Amino acid sequence: MRLSPSHLDFVEVFLKNRGVIREVERELGVSYPTVRARLDEVIKALGYQNRAGEDDRSLDDASENRRRAVLEELRAGNLTAEQALTALHSVSTSASTTADQKKEDAKK
């Protein structure tokens, strides 16, 4: 479990601001959904999964937040169009895979 440099940068800002998302938004110059998406990425990178009992709506919300975050990063010039397309594709693929897995788990 190793965090990328961008994850470490985010964690530093997050901790420095004591987890106050508004302050993180202000310091990074990004929106609330972007902060949440980055936080979710760090949590996932640390090997933690979604909380038990989260429904598909939470999954949809997380995917939507990640899509918005990618588009905001593109708008801000932090991603190229190609990088954004790759990221958006991975969001769609990840959401589909997770939804399929939840359906399989429900059958058991």
* Each residue's pLDDT tens digit, 57-82: 555 677 788 888 888 888 888 888 88
Give me the residue spans of the domains in the chain.
5-107
| pLDDT for the residue numbered 48 | 83
Report which of residues 13 and 66 the model is more confident about: 13
8 Å CB contact between 47 and 16: no
- Helix, strand, coil percentages, rounded to 5, for the chain: 75, 0, 25
Q: CB-side exposure of 11: number of CA atoms within 13 Å?
A: 13
Tell me the pLDDT tens digit for each residue of 22-42: 999 999 999 999 999 999 888
Report which of residues 5 and 54 the model is more confident about: 5
Report which of residues 5 and 88 the model is more confident about: 5
| pLDDT for the residue numbered 26 | 94
